[in-house]
Amino acid sequence: MTVKTIDVDGFCWQIDDSGSGTAVVMCHGFPGLGYSYRHQSAALAEAGFRAIALDMPGYGGTTRPDAIEDYTNDAVANRLIDLLDALGIDKAVFVGHDFGAPAAWTT
């Protein structure tokens, strides 16, 4: 795993970013972390994809916003798009589990 922290306008995402090719962004559910996708990340990277498993807002090494409205699906989706912009990614496939699923669908 290649874990790193990406600062996007003062919001820090902790992500596992491995591989190259089309990006696949994995959003975990409760209770989980980006680490929950370690097996999928390895398989995706081996298959020629860029696997990005992240800690969702308020979890692990990612920023914990104080305002409850910062946890809505729209707010999280906007932050995910900002993360893609910071990583220089134009298009991505999103995968989500549990509460990560509606954030992925919204994105």
3-106 is classed CATH 3.40.50.1820: yes
Q: How much is the CA Rg of the chain, to the nearest whole Å?
A: 12
Give the 3-state secondary structure of 21-36: CCEEEEECCCCCCHHH
Domain boundaries defined on the chain? 3-106
Closest CA to 69 of 82, 79, 61, 54: 79
List pLDDT tens digits, range 5-34. 999 999 999 999 999 999 999 999 999 999
C-beta of residue 45 within 8 angstroms of C-beta of residue 18? yes
C-beta of residue 76 within 8 angstroms of C-beta of residue 5? no
List pLDDT tens digits, range 50-93. 999 999 999 999 999 999 999 999 999 999 999 999 999 999 99
